[in-house]
């Protein structure tokens, strides 16, 4: 297997020169006798590298695994890795490079919604195929994207319901803390409408946004403490993304906010993000995902074994977006096998209804809304940086990518 | 209600000592069950007052309690596993019993009851804290008893608060009023929360509660002002540390060094390296952070010398070229660090004395790490001023800045002084990196977050003035933190930038403009 690591701007030049040098081979590749190309569009540097690097490794692992099994349609897979460097406009440039220069058949990529929004027009214009493996705010459905992470009704809403339940502490005041971009803002809009529908007034909701990479959390954390002193049980819902989580949790620990008093539930913090933090002061704080590394299932045991033997570093963990990448990749290979081609339109039709035994221990199915059915799990941070699942849904739940809690979607529901 | 009845029932059972053996085991058994069963069992064990409950509950709280398939509870201690109830060695380890926040909250109350008479001061304080939060009228006699024999005033105060919180839950109005009075005399936000909760529960004492809340609010306001001021000073100290090195290289030498942020980053990476190197030596590892300070200074000073001698000296008097060149150097340094250490953030462990909060008089709480950084910033400032004022190197530096040619005729090697000055400024940036590693992520692009702020502080304070840099840094920190509560973190930062732009329009030379011949050159 050859993996190319083109470096930012030079890549275009180099790849263009390569294409010029092999004019005879290039058309043959596009028509399907050479390797099938798998694009990897994840930030390997910048503020999102903390989360996205592991996803690059996951795709490379899946490609290697598939090649060991003989590839797809009798052809080998070849990964093409680019680094969009947590720079949103660069995501669009790199997506175009993958589709036009490298002529990839499928792309696995993006983490933040702002990066997905940035590449979306490119994939639609060039009719590419993107697998997006991260939970997000919904309100989107492109025929060129398969969303293998959770929609709000598969993560955010069940998590808040849990916080309000007796087991979760019966919270009646919610602090919504997030990074300032489209995912936290939309999710919090949905959550506010949901909380209002549950009888929680706007006065009992605190909403705060911070820039990417924010490191000075003392003011916000003490404001949350103050917000919590109003005689009602308070909880934090965090949509903080990237490495800003490290100083945030450090400040929570330093200011002595215990999970028994003010629990926090995070939507973008998994095992990988906790690897850089001293987790002892955080025991009991929560995260909502559709998979945890500690899940006990045969597929997960297999998945963890595969990861350990690929990465050869016992400290590296698995997490939810990695699982979603795994599931998406398996589905794509099944769909390609069924369609007998990598052509985007045929693969798209073959994707609908595909089922995969996912490491989360449930069978996940791709629906025509381009979203997966998924179970919801709530985990508590343990001292070793892993999660202890304290709640999970009995079955996989179908995604509602157009949230009923956003008024504009009422018309869409009628029309659809 | 049912739980309360159970609790009362188990309280009544205590005198029947003959039944204690059986009932204790029956009470402990649900610890292996569901979270709800666990929480109820914990509450009952806490009320039972059986000394055997303590090790059991401690094991549960610390994740050392295990269960076998048949529900037998085991306790792991010092590598050995024993049966929890009989104490007999177990055949093998079982499955760890997991708990959730609800069980954890119940545990805090139960352990509080069991440990309130502990001979250790810290355990008693934690127990009182646990009872304050779990509050139940049943704890009143226990707390009164403990308070009567308590000799340490600090622990006694916590017990008084716990007692007041328990009294607040009592059915008797007079008892409740006593609790309200005690809570109203405190300045704790938690007490305010409890009072509001009690106000919603019963109307008889509403007037007393309103007065108590008003009293707390008055004190809380003062306390919040003090805390905001501390946060402003803390932000200011970070700005000061980041800007101080620049005040030397840019302010004194006039070099626009866009690689200044990368010097901070190199200092932070030196801290990581020192920490990793010392990890194997336990008695030194605790001192890795103080030891990183000179190490970071030396590393970044060396990089500074190389930069000045190799590149910058060829560009003196050409500010635009210097700006572009140092910008490029900054990017090269970033990429080099990324290649050597990887793009992932590096973890820096905070020593124990930098974790947690410190409570000052008036219940003002400040975080330890920020406090240390403020002190560190002031020490670095003092050393910098001293080096410039009182050392031979400082004298030569000032001479070269004032008049290079006369200084050269007096026998000062101006080239060497230039190199030393730049190294000095870079070294200070490196020391800032050590502090920054404690509060920010150590990543290759750490420096980009500080370069703009540093220039902002130096320009605002007045180029060439260390006093201006200090006052500028603390002013910006305080203004930023005072704006934050009502404008939000993003808007506050924008407002500060706009403010500086307007200020520079009025006073282009900053707060402390240099006067005299040197300024006119």
Shortest CB distance from A231 goes to which of B104, B196, B490? B196
Residue B23 · residue B13 · CB < 8 Å: yes
Residues B342 and B445 reside in one and the same domain: yes
Reply yes or no on whether the pLDDT at B207 is more than 70. Answer: yes
Residue B288 domain boundaries: 225-352+365-450
A231 vs B192: CB contact, 8 Å cut-off? yes
Strand B95-96 and strand B65-67: pairing? antiparallel
User: How far apart, in Å, do the first and last CA atoms of chain B sit?
Assistant: 83
Reply yes or no on whether the pLDDT at A301 is more than 90. Answer: yes
A210, two tokens: 């911070």
Distance CA B475, CA B222 (A): 20
Q: Tens digits of per-residue pLDDT, A338-349?
A: 999 999 999 999
Q: Higher confidence at residue B425 or residue B281?
A: B425
B441 vs A251: CB contact, 8 Å cut-off? no
**How far, CA to CA in Å, does A149 sit from each of A28, A279, A370, A374, B118?**
35, 25, 11, 8, 50
The DSSP H or E segment spanning A131 is strand A130-132
B345 vs A276: CB contact, 8 Å cut-off? yes
Shortest CB distance from A229 goes to which of B35, B98, B193? B193
Residue B251 counted as domain residue = yes
Looking at B275-289, B340-354, B405-419, which range is the least confident one?
B340-354
H helices of A166-297, in order, are 182-197, 218-227, 245-254, 271-274
Does A296 contact B at CB distance below 8 Å? no
B116, two tokens: 């309130």
Residues B202 and B323 reside in one and the same domain: no
**How far, CA to CA in Å, does A32 sit from each of A35, A95, A340, A342, B470?**
8, 21, 11, 8, 66
Comparing C-alpha atoms, which of B431, B394, B137 is closest to residue B295?
B431
Percent of chain B with pLDDT over 90: 28
φ, ψ for residue A177, nearest 5 deg: -110, 135
Reply yes or no on whether the pLDDT at A128 is more than 90. Answer: yes
DSSP line for B12-31? HHTT-HHHHHHHHHHHHGGG
Interface test with B, best of A260, A287, A378 (most B CBs within 10 A): A260
The last residue of a domain, from among B402, B430, B450: B450
Q: In the prediction, which pLDDT does B16 show?
A: 46
- Three-state DSSP class for B152? coil
Q: In the prediction, which pLDDT does A238 show?
A: 95
Q: Tens digits of per-residue pLDDT, B31-68?
A: 888 888 898 888 888 888 778 888 889 888 888 888 88
- Across A190-200, average pLDDT: 94
Residues B170 and B234 reside in one and the same domain: no
Most confident region among A321-325, B164-168, B404-408 by mean pLDDT: A321-325
Residue B87 · residue B77 · CB < 8 Å: no
Residue B143 · residue B163 · CB < 8 Å: yes
Reply yes or no on whether the pLDDT at B345 is more than 90. Answer: no
Q: Tens digits of per-residue pLDDT, A357-410?
A: 999 999 999 999 999 999 999 999 988 889 999 999 999 999 999 999 888 887
- Three-state DSSP class for B201? helix
Q: For the packed helices B448-461 and B260-278, what is the interaxial angle rounded to 10 degrees?
A: 130
Percent of chain A with pLDDT over 70: 91
Distance CA A7, CA A113 (A): 24
Distance CA A345, CA A144 (A): 9
Residue B474 counted as domain residue = no
Distance CA A379, CA A270 (A): 10
Looking at B10-19, B93-102, B141-150, which range is the least confident one?
B10-19
Comparing C-alpha atoms, which of A137, A136, A73, A135 is closest to residue A106?
A73
Q: Tens digits of per-residue pLDDT, B7-16?
A: 555 544 444 4
Report chain B residues whose CB lies below 8 A from the CB of A167. 35-36, 100, 102
Does A118 contact B at CB distance below 8 Å? no
Interface test with B, best of A254, A273, A283, A390 (most B CBs within 10 A): A254
Comparing C-alpha atoms, which of A209, A141, A132 is closest to residue A178?
A209
- Across A165-170, average pLDDT: 88
DSSP line for B433-500? HHHHTTTS-B-TTTTHHHHHHHHHHHHHH-TT-HHHHHHHHHHHHHHHHHHHHHHHHHHHHHHHHHHH
Does A280 contact B at CB distance below 8 Å? no
Reply yes or no on whether the pLDDT at B100 is more than 60. Answer: yes
**Residue A202: count of CB within 10 angstroms of its CB:** 10
Reply yes or no on whether the pLDDT at A1 is more than 60. Answer: no
Strand A145-147 and strand A130-132: pairing? parallel
Interface test with B, best of A47, A57, A185, A218 (most B CBs within 10 A): A218
The last residue of a domain, from among B394, B419, B450: B450
DSSP line for A87-128? -HHHHHHHHHIIIIIS--SEEEE--SHHHHHHHHHHHHHTT-
Residues B238 and B106 reside in one and the same domain: no
B289, two tokens: 């952070």
Strand A355-357 and strand A363-365: pairing? antiparallel
Q: In the prediction, which pLDDT does A414 show?
A: 52
A218 vs B231: CB contact, 8 Å cut-off? yes
Residue B512 counted as domain residue = no
B101 vs A229: CB contact, 8 Å cut-off? no
Confidence category of residue B4, pLDDT binned at 50, 70, 90: low
Shortest CB distance from A383 goes to which of B63, B343, B350? B63
B386, two tokens: 């001293």
Shortest CB distance from B441 goes to which of A216, A247, A253? A247
Distance CA B297, CA B245 (A): 11
The last residue of a domain, from among B450, B482, B499: B450
Distance CA B394, CA B481 (A): 35
The number of distinct structural domains making up chain B is: 2
Residue B283 counted as domain residue = yes
Reply yes or no on whether the pLDDT at B353 is more than 90. Answer: no
Q: Tens digits of per-residue pLDDT, B405-448?
A: 899 999 999 889 999 999 999 999 999 999 999 888 888 888 88
The minimum CA-CA distance between A156 and chain B, rounded to whole Å, is 19
Q: Tens digits of per-residue pLDDT, A175-184?
A: 999 999 899 9
B367 vs A255: CB contact, 8 Å cut-off? yes
Distance CA B205, CA A298 (A): 59
Residues B31 and B155 reside in one and the same domain: yes
Does A223 contact B at CB distance below 8 Å? yes
A209 vs B489: CB contact, 8 Å cut-off? yes
Residues B243 and B141 reside in one and the same domain: no
Q: Tens digits of per-residue pLDDT, B452-480?
A: 889 999 989 888 788 899 999 999 999 98
Residues B186 and B270 reside in one and the same domain: no
A69, two tokens: 């099994």
- Three-state DSSP class for B119? coil
B490 vs A180: CB contact, 8 Å cut-off? yes
The minimum CA-CA distance between A102 and chain B, rounded to whole Å, is 25
Q: Tens digits of per-residue pLDDT, A60-114?
A: 999 999 999 999 999 999 999 999 989 999 999 999 999 999 999 999 999 999 9
Residue B516 counted as domain residue = no
Give all strands (DSSP E) within A260-368, no chain letters: 264-266, 286-289, 355-357, 363-365
Residue B489 counted as domain residue = no
Distance CA B438, CA B434 (A): 7
**How far, CA to CA in Å, does B338 sit from each of A46, A112, A229, B343?**
10, 22, 44, 5
Residues B210 and B247 reside in one and the same domain: no
The minimum CA-CA distance between A349 and chain B, rounded to whole Å, is 38
Residues B204 and B229 reside in one and the same domain: no
Nearest residue of A to residue B335 by CA position? A45
DSSP line for A363-408? EEEB-TTSBB-B--EEEEE-TTS-EEEEEE-SS-B---SS-TTSTT
The DSSP H or E segment spanning B66 is strand B65-67
Interface test with B, best of A219, A235, A264, A282 (most B CBs within 10 A): A219
**How far, CA to CA in Å, does B34 sit from each of A64, A357, B40, B99?**
42, 28, 10, 9
| Angle (nearest 5°) at CA B222 between B219 and B226 | 135
Interface A–B counts its CB contacts (< 8 A) at 143
Residue B470 counted as domain residue = no
Distance CA B446, CA B265 (A): 6
**Residue B472: count of CB within 10 angstroms of its CB:** 27
Distance CA B67, CA B20 (A): 23
The residues pairing with B76 across neighbouring beta strands, listed in sequence order, are B81
Distance CA A257, CA B502 (A): 40
Shortest CB distance from B189 goes to which of A225, A260, A278? A225
Q: Tens digits of per-residue pLDDT, A348-366?
A: 999 999 999 999 999 999 9
**Which residues 47-106 on chain A approach chain B with CB closer than 8 angstroms?**
47, 49-50, 53
Q: In the prediction, which pLDDT does B26 show?
A: 82
Residues B191 and B246 reside in one and the same domain: no
Reply yes or no on whether the pLDDT at A14 is more than 50. Answer: no
| Residues 6+ positions from B402 with CB-CB distance below 8 Å | B517, B518
Residue B520 counted as domain residue = no
- This complex has an ipTM of 0.81
B96, two tokens: 């760890």
Nearest residue of A to residue B35 by CA position? A167
- Across A189-202, average pLDDT: 94
Shortest CB distance from A49 goes to which of B344, B355, B367? B344
Shortest CB distance from A243 goes to which of B345, B365, B481? B345
Maximal CA-CA distance, chain A: 74
**Which residues 156-185 on chain A approach chain B with CB closer than 8 angstroms?**
166-169, 180
Does A46 contact B at CB distance below 8 Å? yes
Confidence category of residue B171, pLDDT binned at 50, 70, 90: confident
A312, two tokens: 């050869």
Distance CA B513, CA B500 (A): 15
- Three-state DSSP class for A82? strand
Q: Tens digits of per-residue pLDDT, B211-256?
A: 888 888 888 888 888 989 999 999 999 999 999 999 888 877 888 8
Residues B210 and B306 reside in one and the same domain: no
The residues pairing with A80 across neighbouring beta strands, listed in sequence order, are A4, A39
Indicate the average pLDDT of chain B. Answer: 86
The minimum CA-CA distance between A318 and chain B, rounded to whole Å, is 16
The minimum CA-CA distance between B382 and chain A, rounded to whole Å, is 25
Confidence category of residue B120, pLDDT binned at 50, 70, 90: confident
pTM summary value: 0.82
Reply yes or no on whether the pLDDT at B343 is more than 80. Answer: no
Residues B247 and B383 reside in one and the same domain: yes
């Amino acid at each position: 297997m050859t993996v190319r690591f083109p470096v930012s701007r030079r890549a275009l030049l180099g790849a263009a020169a390569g294409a010029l040098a092999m004019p005879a081979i290039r058309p043959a590749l596009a028509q399907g006798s050479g390797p099938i190309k798998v694009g990897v569009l994840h930030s390997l540097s910048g503020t999102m590298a903390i989360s996205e690097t592991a996803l690059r490794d996951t795709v490379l692992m899946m490609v290697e695994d598939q090649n060991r099994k003989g590839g797809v349609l009798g052809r080998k897979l070849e990964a093409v890795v680019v680094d969009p460097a947590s720079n949103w406009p660069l995501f669009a440039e790199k997506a175009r490079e993958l589709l036009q220069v490298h002529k990839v058949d499928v792309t696995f990529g993006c983490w933040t919604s702002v990066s997905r929004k940035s590449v979306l027009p490119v994939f639609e214009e060039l009719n590419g195929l993107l697998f997006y493996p991260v939970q997000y705010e919904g309100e989107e459905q492109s025929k060129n994207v398969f969303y293998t992470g959770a929609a709000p009704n598969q993560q955010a809403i069940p998590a808040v319901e849990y916080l309000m339940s007796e087991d979760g502490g019966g919270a009646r005041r919610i602090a919504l803390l997030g990074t300032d971009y489209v995912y936290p803002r939309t999710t919090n809009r949905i959550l506010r409408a949901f909380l209002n529908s549950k009888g929680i007034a706007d006065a009992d909701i605190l909403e705060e946004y911070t820039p990417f990479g924010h490191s000075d959390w003392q003011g916000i954390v003490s404001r949350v403490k103050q917000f919590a002193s109003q005689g009602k049980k308070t909880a934090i819902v965090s949509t903080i993304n990237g490495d800003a989580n490290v100083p945030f949790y450090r400040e929570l620990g330093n200011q002595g906010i215990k999970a028994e008093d003010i629990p926090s539930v995070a939507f973008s913090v998994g095992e990988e993000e906790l690897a850089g933090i001293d987790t002892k002061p955080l025991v009991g704080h929560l995260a909502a995902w559709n998979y945890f590394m500690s899940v006990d299932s045969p597929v997960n045991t297999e998945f963890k074994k595969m990861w350990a033997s690929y990465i050869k570093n016992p400290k590296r963990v698995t997490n939810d977006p990695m699982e979603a990448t795994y599931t998406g990749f398996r589905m794509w290979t099944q769909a390609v096998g069924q369609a007998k081609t990598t052509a985007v339109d045929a693969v798209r039709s073959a994707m609908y209804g595909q089922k995969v035994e996912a490491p989360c221990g449930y069978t996940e199915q791709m629906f025509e809304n381009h979203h997966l059915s998924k179970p919801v799990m709530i985990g508590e941070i343990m001292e070793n940086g892993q999660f202890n699942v304290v709640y999970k849904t009995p079955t996989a739940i179908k995604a509602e990518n157009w949230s009923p809690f956003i008024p504009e979607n009422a018309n869409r529901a009628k029309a659809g | 209600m049912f739980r309360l009845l159970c609790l009362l029932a188990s309280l009544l059972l205590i005198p029947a000592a003959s039944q204690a053996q059986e009932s204790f085991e029956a009470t402990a058994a649900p610890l292996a069950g569901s979270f709800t069963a666990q929480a109820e069992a914990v509450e009952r064990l806490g009320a039972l007052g059986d000394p055997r409950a303590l090790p059991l509950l401690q094991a549960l709280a610390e994740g050392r309690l295990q269960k076998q398939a048949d529900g037998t509870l085991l306790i792991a201690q010092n590598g050995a596993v024993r049966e929890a109830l009989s104490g007999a060695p177990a055949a093998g380890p079982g499955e760890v019993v997991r708990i959730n926040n609800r069980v954890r909250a119940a545990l805090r109350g139960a352990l509080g009851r069991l440990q309130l008479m502990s001979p250790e001061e810290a355990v008693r304080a934690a127990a009182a804290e646990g009872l304050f939060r779990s509050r139940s009228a049943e704890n009143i006699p226990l707390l009164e008893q403990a308070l009567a024999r308590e000799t340490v005033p600090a622990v006694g105060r916590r017990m008084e608060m716990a007692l007041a919180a328990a009294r607040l839950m009592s059915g008797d109005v007079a008892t409740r009023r006593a609790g309200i009075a005690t809570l109203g005399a405190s300045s704790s936000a938690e007490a305010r929360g409890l009072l509001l909760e009690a106000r919603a529960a019963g109307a008889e004492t509403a007037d007393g509660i309103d007065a108590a809340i008003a009293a707390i609010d008055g004190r809380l306001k003062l306390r919040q002002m003090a805390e905001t001021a501390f946060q402003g000073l803390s932000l200011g100290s970070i700005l000061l540390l980041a800007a101080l090195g620049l005040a030397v290289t840019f302010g004194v030498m006039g070099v626009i060094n866009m690689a200044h942020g990368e010097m901070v980053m190199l200092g932070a990476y030196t801290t990581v390296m020192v920490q990793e190197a010392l990890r194997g030596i336990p008695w030194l590892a605790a001192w890795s952070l103080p030891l990183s300070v000179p190490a970071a200074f030396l590393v970044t000073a060396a990089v500074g010398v190389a930069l000045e001698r190799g590149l910058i000296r060829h560009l003196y008097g050409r500010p635009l070229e210097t700006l572009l060149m140092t910008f490029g150097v900054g990017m090269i340094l970033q990429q080099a660090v990324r290649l050597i250490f990887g793009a992932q953030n590096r973890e820096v462990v905070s020593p124990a004395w930098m974790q947690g909060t410190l409570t000052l008089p008036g219940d003002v709480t400040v975080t330890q790490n920020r406090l240390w950084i403020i002190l560190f910033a002031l020490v670095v400032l003092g050393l910098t001023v001293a080096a410039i004022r009182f050392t031979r190197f400082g004298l030569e530096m000032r001479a070269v800045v004032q008049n290079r040619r006369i200084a050269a005729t007096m026998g000062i090697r101006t080239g060497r002084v230039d190199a030393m000055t730049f190294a000095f400024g870079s070294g200070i940036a490196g020391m800032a990196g050590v502090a920054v590693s404690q509060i920010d992520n150590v990543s290759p692009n750490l420096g980009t977050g500080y370069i703009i702020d540093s220039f902002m502080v130096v320009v605002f304070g007045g180029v060439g003035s260390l006093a201006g840099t200090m006052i500028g840094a603390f002013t910006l920190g305080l203004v930023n933190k005072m704006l934050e509560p009502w404008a939000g973190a993003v808007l506050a930062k924008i407002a500060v930038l706009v403010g500086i732009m307007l200020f520079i329009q009025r006073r282009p030379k900053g707060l402390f403009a240099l006067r005299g011949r040197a300024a006119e050159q």
